[in-house]
């Protein structure tokens, strides 16, 4: 009896530990592993489907150029679509897409900026679309890849370029993370729509909201897995810490009804940001819905912000 009791006492914790490891591995693969398709949008966004596909159709009609980085390195090759402005312009916006999307999924924002007279660059992030990469870095590796895209814009369009960084959701966090890097003077402003504070906080929040699971032990184990696979812990992936080093004018946009990236993350990012800053909380907008509720109003706010910091072209 004593031997059986000892085996039971040891076996139960081991079984629980093994189950936790297995669940964490599945969670990591679900959240971080690339998928070679665009997941269907949430039910509350289905009403915008016709408008979305009209923007995609517009993009397909444009004289799109295909740009690449690391062309001779299959493991790190990155691709982007470039849409030149209707008339010659020194201004280019680099648009960072959301989680499990690609450059084409940002066609509506490309249309908006193209109408504002900008060249538009639409990268596929690492682990997305036609770019290489087995795993999604949630903006952390992407922030450095985008430095390469900035250099490509300067090489293609010249050093007189004026560059805007724009992103939504994961893309919003990506440009927030870029804000802490050493950016060339041609980068004039940053616009971040519904970006999260850090991947650690975002993962813990979604675990609790969607799966009713606690942060511990799952997030630390997922972080350890990521350290092994990608070379860094989740605690390293922080918009807040990067924003503390920002010097560029930055405009934060966030839906007041966002329950995917909650509005308290907007306030935390805004408070952390250095440099000139502005904030627009969009009434009644859910996650990444601010544009879709009123595209004209969205463009008006973006234009007003940019006119403050960029003289007329």
In DSSP notation, 72-109 reads: T-TTT-EEEEEE--SS--SEEEEEE--TT--GGGGHHH
What pLDDT is attached to residue 7? 41
Distance CA 49, CA 61 (A): 19
Distance CA 295, CA 313 (A): 23
Residues contacting residue 115 through CB under 8 Å, at least 6 positions apart: 299
Enumerate the H helices of the chain as residue ranges.
2-32, 49-60, 107-115, 142-157, 170-178, 199-211, 218-230, 239-243, 263-272, 290-293, 295-309
What pLDDT is attached to residue 243? 98
Beta bridge partners of 173: none
Which architecture does CATH list for 23-309? 3-Layer(aba) Sandwich (3.40)
CB 163 within 8 A of CB 188: yes
Write out residues in the chain with pLDDT < 70, as ranges.
1-14, 17, 313
Give per-residue pLDDT as tens, 120-161: 999 999 999 999 999 999 999 999 999 999 999 999 999 999
Q: Which of 42, 144, 23, 179 is nearest to 100 (CA)?
A: 42
What pLDDT is attached to residue 13? 64
Reported pTM? 0.95
Beta bridge partners of 278: 251
> How big is the chain, counted in residues?
313
Q: Is 31 helix (H, G, I), strand (E, B) or coil?
A: helix
Distance CA 182, CA 118 (A): 23
Angle between helices 170-178 and 142-157 (to 10 degrees): 70
Enter the tokens of residue 125.
């992030």
Q: Which of 292, 312, 251 is nearest to 111 (CA)?
A: 292
CB 106 within 8 A of CB 95: yes
Enter the tokens of residue 103.
């450059």
Distance CA 302, CA 250 (A): 11
What pLDDT is attached to residue 298? 98
CB 171 within 8 A of CB 182: no
């Amino acid at each position: 009896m004593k031997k059986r009791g000892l085996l039971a006492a040891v076996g139960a914790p081991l079984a629980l530990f093994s189950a936790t490891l297995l669940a964490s591995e599945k969670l990591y693969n679900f959240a971080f592993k690339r998928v070679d398709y665009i997941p269907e949008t949430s039910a509350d966004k289905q009403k915008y489907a016709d408008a979305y596909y009209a923007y995609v159709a517009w993009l397909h009609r444009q004289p799109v150029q295909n740009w690449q980085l690391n062309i001779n390195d299959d493991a790190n090759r990155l691709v982007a679509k470039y849409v030149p402005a209707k008339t010659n312009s020194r201004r280019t916006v680099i648009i960072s897409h959301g989680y499990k999307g690609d450059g084409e999924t940002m066609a509506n924002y490309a249309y908006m900026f193209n109408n504002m007279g900008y060249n538009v660059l639409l990268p596929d992030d690492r682990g997305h679309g036609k770019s290489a990469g087995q795993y999604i870095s949630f903006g952390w590796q992407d922030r450095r890849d985008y430095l390469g895209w900035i250099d490509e814009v300067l090489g293609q369009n010249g050093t007189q370029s004026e560059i805007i960084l724009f992103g939504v959701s994961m893309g919003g966090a990506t440009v927030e993370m870029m804000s802490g890097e050493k950016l060339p003077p041609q980068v004039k402003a940053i616009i971040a729509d519904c970006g999260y504070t850090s991947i650690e906080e975002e993962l813990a929040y979604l675990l609790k909201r969607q799966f009713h699971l606690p942060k511990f032990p799952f997030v630390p184990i997922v972080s350890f897995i990521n350290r092994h696979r990608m070379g860094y812990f989740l605690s390293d992936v922080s918009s807040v810490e990067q924003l503390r080093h920002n010097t560029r004018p930055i405009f934060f946009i966030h839906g007041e009804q966002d329950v995917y990236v909650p509005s308290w993350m907007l306030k935390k990012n805004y408070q952390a940001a250095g440099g000139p800053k502005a904030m627009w909380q969009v009434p009644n907008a859910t996650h990444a819905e601010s544009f879709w509720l009123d595209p004209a109003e969205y463009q008006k706010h973006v234009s007003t912000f940019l006119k403050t910091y960029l003289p007329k072209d």
